[in-house]
Amino acid sequence: MIVLLIAARLYRQRNRKPPSSGLLIFTAVMCLILLGVKAERESGIETIAEDADRKLVAITFDDGPNNDYTRMLLSGLKERGVKATFFLLGKEVDKYPEIVAEIHADGHLIGTHSYEHVNLKNLCDEAAIEQVDKTNEAIHAVTGEYPEYIRPPFGSWKCNLDYETKMIEVLWDIDPLDWKTNNSDVIAKRVTDKVTENDIILLHDASESSVLAAFKIIDQLEREGYTFVTVDEILFD
């Protein structure tokens, strides 16, 4: 009704004769379309502004799944509403497919970390590709999806393997060397003291101290206004 009144008023401003009902309806429809376009444009601008204001960071875990600590980690991540990225070893996927299924069901991103945690750069291309493909097949058998991302052990990768394996290499910005200490506070501080926007954090889900450190890192950085995302959002958004 309000739109019809507006349409009639607009028409009278330009014409002396009263508008026909058909013309009035047409004018009203055009007003609605214009109002909708304006609202959609304003909404889009607000969304872009909100995204630009977010401080993003990605937390990642290598060498899993671990039968002792990955479920503990998954529980804490779910409690905090955080999505992480897991770079899995093929041999551990074969041992604990049910944990891989839980990682996938919880909406985390799964990547490849080779089958046996070997330095791929020291292998011939055929052997390196086998390490990747064997892991990808193991993950696909559980999740129904092939991974797109790889974190090569030790960060050691051959450039030609990007093409040969069709994988996207993902390294890291912060490595607190969590496997060298059992002190979760030390691990967490090494991260929170250095982190900046769009950083990728490297951790492992192979010890209680690393898992507890992950929770401390998440809690602290969220207090500082950071939003945790998976690595694909860091790399491509």
Catalytic residue positions, numbered: 62, 204
Alpha helices in the chain (DSSP H): 2-14, 21-53, 70-80, 90-95, 97-105, 125-143, 160-165, 184-192, 208-223, 231-236
CA 70/CA 63 separation, integer angstroms: 10
Contact yes or no for 191/217 (Cβ under 8 A): yes
* Residue 184 CB burial class (10 angstroms; 0-12, 13-18, ≥19): buried
